[in-house]
Structure 1
Amino acid sequence: MSHQLTFADSEFSTKRRQTRKEIFLSRMEQILPWQNMVEVIEPFYPKAGNGRRPYPLETMLRIHCMQHWYNLSDGAMEDALYEIASMRLFARLSRIAPCRIAPPS
């Protein structure tokens, strides 16, 4: 994971219109009890130690949920995370503050 603001992140942060996908992800951000789900899964999630450090649990949980919501294979989900900025933000893989998608008015 890069900790540097990318040009794509910079461009996305000034976007004005919300897509249906952004609105849906914003609602899921508000509706689902993310912290509670993380606490339930935490004891079973791999810890850093041998080998490569695992991605943060909340990031993987968010990716798993998006994969089911949009019916994506592992490869298609990976491609979507590279190509779709709103999904990167929702998964908290972006340098911009997590899920800056505003709720619909």
Structure 2
Amino acid sequence: ILPWQNMTAVIEPFYPKAGNGRRPYPLETMLRIHCMQHWYNLSDGAMEDALYEIASMRLFARLSLDSALPDRTTIMNFRHLLEQHQLARQLFKTINRWLAEAGVMMTQGTLVDATIIEAPSSTKNKEQQRDPEMHQTKKGNQWHFGMKAHIGVDAKSGLTHSL
């Protein structure tokens, strides 16, 4: 369903090429692993374990136990590559453009929700100062400290279209 070729085209200029050393895993495989990691909220180590233990995840990532599977460091390095080059937003835009072209992306009737990204109240940056975007907020009868992430969702389809 997802436009894997369009998404890999966004990452490909930054992805390591085969040359000296061990060959990198196929880009689409690493992207599929990255997506599953987010969908199932798995750490790098838990994702590695899941690839060994859950056949459907290996199948989705186009891997088999006949060859080496990506370890937690490889999974972490791919995530860091996306973060370093700020590719997550580009991937999100690529998916939304594909959904719009396929006629399944709606732009009317938007619901906006704020998710709280919690942090310990003592969190400070390198300069030993608190992040100005972090503050205390109340949700229901409970107080939380952290940041808000606003998410735009199409009311009819339930598809996320903006972060």
Q: Same fold by TM-score, threshold 0.5 exceeded?
A: yes
- Which residue of structure 1 aligns with residue 138 of structure 2? none
Partner of 1:49 in structure 2?
Answer: 19
Match of 1:94?
Answer: 64
Whole-Å separation in 1 of the counterparts to 2:22 and 2:41 = 28
1:65-103 deviation line (CA, Å, top 9, x unaligned)? 1001101011100000000000000000038xxxxxxxx
Structure with more of its chain in helix, by fraction: 1
Q: Which residue of 2 aligns with 1:75?
A: 45
Unaligned runs of 5+ in 2: 66-163
Q: Could you say which residue in structure 1 is the equivalent of 2:36?
A: 66
Dislocated runs of 4+, deviation >6 Å = none
What amino acid is the match of 1:41? Answer: I
For residue 57 of structure 1, report the CA deviation from its aligned partner: 0.1
| Alpha-carbon distance in 1 for matches of 2:43, 2:20 | 28
The number of equivalent residue pairs is: 65
Task: Judging by fraction of residues, say which structure has more strand.
Answer: 2
| CA shift digits 1:10-34 (9 cap, x unpaired) | xxxxxxxxxxxxxxxxxxxx2x111
Higher-Rg member (1/2): 2
RMSD: 1.2
Which residue identity lines up with residue 64 of structure 2 in the other structure? Answer: S
Gaps of 5+ in 1: 1-29, 96-105
Distance in 2 of aligned mates of 1:94 and 1:83: 11
Q: TM-score, length-normalised on structure 2?
A: 0.39
- Normalising by structure 1, what TM-score? 0.59
